[in-house]
Amino acid sequence: MKNYWILFLSIFIGTNLNGQCYNLVWADEFDGTNLDLNKWSYQTGAGGWGNNELQYYTDSNNNAYVSSGSLKIEAKEESFNGANYTSARIRTIGQGDWTYGKMEASIKLPEGQGIWPAFWMMPTESAYGGWPTSGEIDIMEYLGHQTNSVYGTCHFGNSPTDKSSSGNWHNISPDSFADGEYHHFMIEWEPTQIRWYADGILYHTFNASDVGNYPFPFDQDFHFILNIAVGGNWPGNPDNTTVFPQMMEVDYVRVYQQMQDISLTGDFIAEPNQSGVVYQVPDMPNTTYTWHVPYGSTIVSGLGTHEVVVDWGTYQGIIAVTVDNDCGNIHLFEPVTLTANQTPNPGFENNLNHWYPDNFNGAYAAWNIDTSNPHNESKSMCADVTAVSPNVWDVQISPELVDLIAGEEYTLTFWAKANTSGKAMSIALIHPTNYTYYTGTGYTLTNDWVQYSHIFTATVTGQASVNIQFGHETGIFCLDDFFFARTAAMNQVSDTFINTVNRPKNLPWPPEKGVGYWLNKFKEKHGLD
């Protein structure tokens, strides 16, 4: 049963821990009748998931469903697409991503040899490189044959060598986590420390200094994953004592943040005169929101709320919001670039920020930033593919989702090369959650930088994932200067910045602050002179 009294307190007065004031910024109470696909998406497939696991993850209601105020994830013994077991794995990537805070869930755990449920977090962008370099935070892992223990772990280090800091909590009373009761699992994640709790007991602490000479990757956005694996390297496989089905039941998942950790999100790349661009901060009761946009732009809806819709003009600049409640106030601001290109960080000058590399089903690539021979500027991305699977998409990298308008023509261009001529790669545009194929093509690379393109007319309106696939064969594949835009927009604007300070000087922005104030704040935030 949910602890609504605690939830009431946290919503209306914030939570106070060690003198710190936390805001409830995100929650799923699972009170409906369907999984909220505005918060969660499915990961599907088999192939072992890097751990020799036996299940096939489906998007079926037979494996994940919401009823009677909780989420149920079931692992079943059944044949499906070549696997002998099915289960579910859901995540919040792109829909719930945070840096720092208190992350918690209330969970009933299953039991049995080979049953491996988890509540964990992965980086939304692999800013430091492939796993585990960009980190992993396991809030709760549990082995179904060790019902008196749960584990809290973070992974870091140089891929593919796994480095980790792990602790485990032995439950004393009751003597089993599989007792049919909800148990509470939480981390407190701060800039230099992560702390793990089980049923209110602190049992593991990890400090930034513990990484040694490795990068400390826990300063980026991470997202949640909930799943039950069956079998694998750690728990071993099911045996004749394992009873199926096995269920993990989740009462709620919640995120709390202090004011200084709250983020402003939205599309920080827009076209000139683009309408309907959404920006938001967490929706918190008893909170006021004051928004400002640059000269020439208009807030068309949401003024005074946590989310605004903006029609852009021809001046790019900084969007800002002041958030104020009983925990204090904070001024959040981000620059918005007006450009035809929908791809942030197109040349990898900010490393892998805004890019999403993936390895599935036993296929593997190390995702590296190369500075020795980029096509342009100082960096490019190179994928060193050392193992492939039957699916070319099992080694792929994607930029952030792109927006499509039915009937509009789009131009996609990029520069690429391989370590030897004749190597294959491909691009596919698909629906981000149901994976409907929209368009795509293949390319044969040379060992020199060559520009490639794909021009198409969109058949749907909505967002699409651009999957750049290197899973055809082993080798080294390099990518640089990725460009995706409406063809018509390419004729409206170049990639050069429109200088915000060139707008009329008698229109200061925001009204109580001149533009110089905000530019100085932006420089201060990003360490610029």
Enzyme catalytic residues: 136, 141
Q: Coil, helix or strand for 501?
A: helix
Backbone angles phi, psi at 198, to 5 degrees: -130, 120
> Residue 57 carries which side chain, given as an amino acid letter?
Y
DSSP-derived pairing of the beta strands 277-280 and 64-67: unpaired
Who's near 499: CB < 8 A, 6+ residues apart? none
- Contact status, residue 183 vs residue 106, Cβ threshold 8 Å: yes
Element (H, E) at 7: helix 4-13
What is the C-alpha to C-alpha distance for residues 495 and 507, in angstroms, rounded to an integer? 26
Tokens coding 344: 């942030």
Rounded to 5 degrees, what are φ and ψ at 290? -120, 115
Locate 329 and state its tokens. 């106030």
DSSP assignment of 195-254, as one string?
Answer: EEEETTEEEEEEEGGGGTTS---TTS-EEEEEEEEES-TTT----TT--S-EEEEEEEEE
Q: Is the C-alpha dihedral spanning 84, 86, 87, 90 positive or negative?
A: positive
The DSSP 8-state label assigned to residue 310 in this structure reads: E
Comparing C-alpha atoms, which of 166, 199, 183, 19 is closest to residue 111?
A: 183
- Could you give the angle at the alpha carbon of 360 between the alpha carbons of 355 and 363, nearest 5°? 105
Return d(Cα 500, Cα 313) in angstroms, integer: 12
Q: How far apart are the first and last CA of the chain?
A: 53
Continuous H helices in 423-494? 487-490
Is residue 281 helix, strand or coil? coil
163-170 and 64-67: which strand pairing?
A: unpaired
Neighbours of 408 (CB within 10 A): 15
Please give the Cα distance from 230 to 238 (Å, whole number).
7
